[in-house]
Amino acid sequence: MTSVTFRVTKGHGQSIGPSCFDAAPTPSYDGTYAMKNRAFPVVCEESAVSPCLVSPAADRAPERRIQKGVLRPSRISRAKETDEIRLMRFKNSRGFTLLEMMIVIAIGLTMAGVTMMALIPLFTKSHVDRAYDTTLSAIRSYRNLAIAQSNRYILVPTAPGTITVQFWAYVPPPGISPAPQWVSTINLPPDVQFSTAAIASALPAAGPDGIGTPANPIYFANTMTNVTANCNVVEGGQPCVVFYPDGSAQDDAGNYINGVLYLYQLGLPSSANPSQSATLLSSRAIDIWGTTGRVRGWRLYVPGGGPTWYQQ
């Protein structure tokens, strides 16, 4: 019996050739051949029926010729492929370099700076809007309370930006009313004032609804005589407005008065043309009608014809 080594491509017992190989077999790199990724020698036996048959026993019980611990060719290729995949995964998950992080941070800081510059005018404008809303709301709220409670409330606006509210109980004549009682003090934002000092020359000559002039940012006048009226009875001569149970606006002596309050914001950019300055455009006004107690709010706009008050 002659033992040779070659590749078997089909099932057991298949005839390989008319006779046994006389020539020496050509071994592979490790002296074996692989069948289904398994290396083993095949035994060729001579017989009377077939010159050379593949022994079934050789396939059933292969003789391994690769020493333990030595990788087969297929496993070697898989190991190389696995190393390449691991290297690619390592490269893909290596993180960011310092330069990349610095570039991202620089872009973020630039965007944040541009955003803040765009939002600053909105923050600034919100101050004067808040002051206007606070003043208008206070006047309307305490007028409504005077009607609901059938009593009197006194509002004393004081420069630069304070409104003092007092409750003044009403006692019909010939009774004597008690002294006013303090209720609250309303403070405007520090950069918003009851004033027209910096912009009086650029404001319209007449106040909203024709009440007052820009020369007096806190103005109350007798509706009959149009003479400035201050509260001399209980407020020591300060400008004030008293809301009565019928909703009317009077002084502390019981005379109907009309009034106007001017507000504007300090510290805004100026312009060579006073009528186009940001300070002027921040102007607001609130007027009060004495006999009805009606309260209206106004905002200054500068169209082509010059500064004009528009009701809000």
Which domains, from first to last, does the chain contain?
2-85 (no CATH), 128-311 (3.55.40.10)
Residue 167 CA neighbour count, 13 Å, CB half? 11
More confidently predicted of 84 and 114: 114
- Nearest one of 224, 253, 223 to 237, comparing CA atoms: 253
Distance CA 254, CA 252 (A): 6
Nearest-angstrom CA–CA distance, 8 and 43: 11
Measured distance CA(82)–CA(74) in Å, rounded? 12
**Max avg pLDDT among 46-60, 189-203, 226-240, 283-297:** 283-297
The answer on pLDDT for 302 being more than 90 is: no
Are the CB atoms for 290 and 244 separated by under 8 Å? no
What's the whole-number average pLDDT of the chain?
75
- Between 252 and 26, where is the model more confident? 252
Task: Check residues 159 and 7 and name the one with the higher pLDDT.
Answer: 159
Distance CA 263, CA 279 (A): 10
**Residue 135 — pLDDT band, cuts 50, 70, 90?**
very high
Write out the two tokens for 106.
């620089």
Q: How do strand 33-35 and strand 38-40 relate by DSSP bridges?
A: antiparallel
Q: Where are the alpha helices (DSSP H) in 93-174?
A: 98-149
Largest Cα–Cα separation, the chain: 152
Asked if pLDDT for residue 297 goes beyond 80, the answer is yes
Q: 119-129 pLDDT, tens per residue?
A: 766 666 678 88
Name the residue among 186, 185, 180, 208 with its Cα closest to residue 196: 208
Distance (Å, rounded) from C-alpha 100 to C-alpha 142?
61
The reported pLDDT for the residue numbered 4 is 45
Per-residue pLDDT band for 270 (boundaries 50, 70, 90) equals: low
Predicted local confidence at residue 87, as pLDDT: 64
